[in-house]
């Protein structure tokens, strides 16, 4: 079986972790499903983007385009990547959609020439990939599955008169099956009158995360995220100030960088909690598993998550989680692996952090890890996808 994946977001030199979950899923399918050849359509993604408000980046994008060769086929980790470069004006700017349709059509034909008939398309994110898949289905008669990751759904720029743009409606309406990565996202999609998707979560590579014993004298809370308003780091700092534990007993390690970092650091100073907080800065993917191992509890009071990869990575490490009822977290966190609090409720967050500090030893790391493996491991997710693929192809 030849599976042709169209990713709206995919790692590139400009954004090396953009859409990393899509690439890791493709690699997992290739590794665990021996009957499937996985072919990914790539075009440079962010490397060829010309941001309308950032003309300073145009020279880099134009230089990149001039250096690229057409009709490339690359193989890595068992996955075939077919590549033709293109420039786009903006990831979601409508005038560039025809370019993306053209380049994916060319990649589809290149894959067909080298590997034979494409049996199934899997598009990640309704726009642009899902819409592109709907065009290719019409032209080549190949069915497609659509996974939605977008949060909030849809992005404000993809709304028209309070409804998703027609291209998104076409993506869902013409799909043989659709997937949402969490029940809350499925609810949101269905709320627009679109067919309710089935639930298949994002996959976490269980081999990267392991259980480990702790050696710290202080109780360590860990947060890993891009430091933006969405992640609720200000709520975390206010909760810490409200709780006010001894600084020699409790530490919060905050990993990540972003536009709000200096503002949050100043807020920690103003609240008098800087002695509790260790700002780790940018954390590489290779560093992250160790940081999960070294903490007692993962905490992130996010305002919104479609899924929440870091919550799943925490339970892959056997760690309990404190999260908000922000959408994706409710799908991951339960009474056996953590606690949920209301968004923006600083007092409840402070009380829950204190409760976790006192009751952390009641959580079983092995049970937390086993629950993760059952729901979010490569084996679990790939099994669900393969079952869906078979259903679609039997229709």
A 10 A CB-CB count for 285 gives: 10
| pLDDT reported for residue 107 | 98
Mean pLDDT in residue range 297-310:
96
Is there a single domain that holds both residue 55 and residue 130? Answer: yes
84-121 core/surface letters (b: 16 or more CB in 10 A; e: else): bbbbbeebbeeebbebbbebbbbbbebbbeeeeebbbb
| pLDDT reported for residue 94 | 47
Comparing CA positions, the residue from 128, 354, 111 lying closest to residue 120 is 111
Give the three-state DSSP class for 322: strand
Mean pLDDT in residue range 8-29:
93
The predicted-structure confidence for 329-363, as pLDDT tens digits, reads as follows 999 999 999 999 999 999 999 999 999 999 999 99
pLDDT beyond 80 at 93: no
Is there a single domain that holds both residue 190 and residue 114? Answer: yes
Sequence-ordered list of residues with C-beta below 8 angstroms from that of 167, at least 6 positions apart, any chain:
97, 126, 127, 128, 131
Strand partners, 284: none
Is there a single domain that holds both residue 98 and residue 49? Answer: yes
Compute the distance between CA of residue 391 and CA of residue 395 in angstroms, rounded to an integer.
Answer: 7
Compute the distance between CA of residue 227 and CA of residue 283 in angstroms, rounded to an integer.
Answer: 12
A 10 A CB-CB count for 319 gives: 27
Average pLDDT score, the chain: 95
| pLDDT reported for residue 95 | 57
Q: What confidence category does residue 382 fall into, taking pLDDT thresholds of 50, 70 and 90?
A: very high
Helix axes of 309-316 and 365-376: crossing angle, nearest 10 degrees: 130
152-161 core/surface letters (b: 16 or more CB in 10 A; e: else): ebbeeebeee
| pLDDT reported for residue 50 | 85
Question: Is the alpha carbon torsion for 324, 330, 332, 335 positive or negative?
Answer: positive
Is there a single domain that holds both residue 173 and residue 38? Answer: yes
| pLDDT reported for residue 213 | 87
Give the three-state DSSP class for 79: strand
Is there a single domain that holds both residue 226 and residue 330? Answer: yes
Is there a single domain that holds both residue 8 and residue 22? Answer: yes
The predicted-structure confidence for 98-126, as pLDDT tens digits, reads as follows 999 999 999 999 999 999 999 999 999 99
Tally the domains of the chain. 2
Q: What confidence category does residue 239 fall into, taking pLDDT thresholds of 50, 70 and 90?
A: very high
Is there a single domain that holds both residue 169 and residue 299? Answer: no
Is there a single domain that holds both residue 108 and residue 225? Answer: no
Is there a single domain that holds both residue 231 and residue 189? Answer: no
Q: Is 166 exposed, middle or buried (0-12, 13-18, 19+ CB in 10 A)?
A: exposed
The predicted-structure confidence for 112-165, as pLDDT tens digits, reads as follows 999 999 999 999 999 999 999 999 999 999 999 999 999 899 999 999 999 999
Contact by Cβ (8 Å): 304, 151: yes
Q: Name the pairing type of β-strands 2-7 and 37-42.
A: parallel
Domain of 286 in residue numbering reads as 206-376
Is there a single domain that holds both residue 116 and residue 188? Answer: yes
| pLDDT reported for residue 56 | 79
The predicted-structure confidence for 252-294, as pLDDT tens digits, reads as follows 999 999 999 999 999 999 999 999 999 999 999 899 999 999 9
Contact by Cβ (8 Å): 121, 171: no
Is there a single domain that holds both residue 305 and residue 172? Answer: no
Compute the distance between CA of residue 300 and CA of residue 110 in angstroms, rounded to an integer.
Answer: 44
Q: 306: domain CATH number?
A: 3.40.50.2000
Is there a single domain that holds both residue 128 and residue 243? Answer: no
């Amino acid at each position: 079986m030849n599976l042709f994946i169209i990713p709206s977001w995919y790692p590139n030199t400009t954004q090396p972790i953009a859409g990393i979950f899509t690439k890791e899923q493709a690699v997992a399918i290739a590794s665990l499903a021996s009957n499937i050849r996985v072919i990914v359509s790539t075009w440079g993604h962010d490397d060829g983007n010309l941001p309308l408000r950032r003309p300073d980046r145009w020279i880099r994008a134009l230089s990149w385009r001039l250096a690229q060769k057409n009709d490339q086929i690359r193989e890595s980790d068992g996955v075939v990547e077919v590549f033709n470069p293109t420039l786009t004006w903006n990831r979601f700017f409508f005038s560039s959609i025809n370019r993306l349709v053209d380049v994916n059509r060319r990649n589809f034909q290149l894959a067909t020439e080298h590997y034979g008939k494409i049996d199934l398309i899997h598009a990640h994110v309704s726009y642009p990939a899902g819409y592109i898949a709907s065009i290719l289905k019409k032209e080549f008669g190949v069915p497609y599955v659509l996974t939605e990751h977008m949060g909030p759904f849809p992005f404000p720029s993809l709304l028209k008169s309070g409804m998703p743009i027609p291209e998104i409606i076409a993506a869902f309406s013409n799909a043989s099956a659709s997937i949402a990565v969490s029940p809350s996202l499925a609810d949101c999609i269905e709320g627009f009158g679109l067919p309710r998707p089935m639930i298949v979560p994002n996959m976490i590579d269980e081999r990267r995360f392991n259980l480990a014993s702790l050696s710290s004298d202080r109780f360590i809370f860990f947060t890993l995220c891009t430091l933006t308003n969405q992640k609720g780091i200000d709520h975390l700092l206010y909760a810490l100030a409200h709780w006010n534990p001894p600084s020699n007993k409790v530490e919060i390690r905050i990993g990540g960088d972003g536009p709000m970092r200096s503002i949050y650091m100043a807020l920690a100073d103003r609240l008098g909690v800087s002695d509790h907080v260790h700002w780790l800065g940018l954390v590489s993917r290779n560093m992250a598993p160790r940081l999960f191992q070294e903490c007692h509890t993962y905490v992130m009071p996010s305002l919104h998550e479609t899924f929440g990869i870091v919550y799943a990575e925490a339970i892959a490490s056997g760690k309990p989680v404190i999260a908000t009822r922000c959408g994706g977290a409710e799908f991951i966190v339960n009474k056996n692996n953590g606690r949920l609090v209301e968004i923006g409720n600083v007092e409840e967050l402070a009380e829950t952090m204190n409760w976790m500090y006192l009751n952390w030893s009641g959580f079983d790391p092995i049970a937390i890890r086993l629950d993760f493996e059952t729901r979010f491991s490569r084996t679990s997710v790939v099994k669900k996808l393969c079952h869906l693929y078979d259903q679609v192809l039997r229709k």
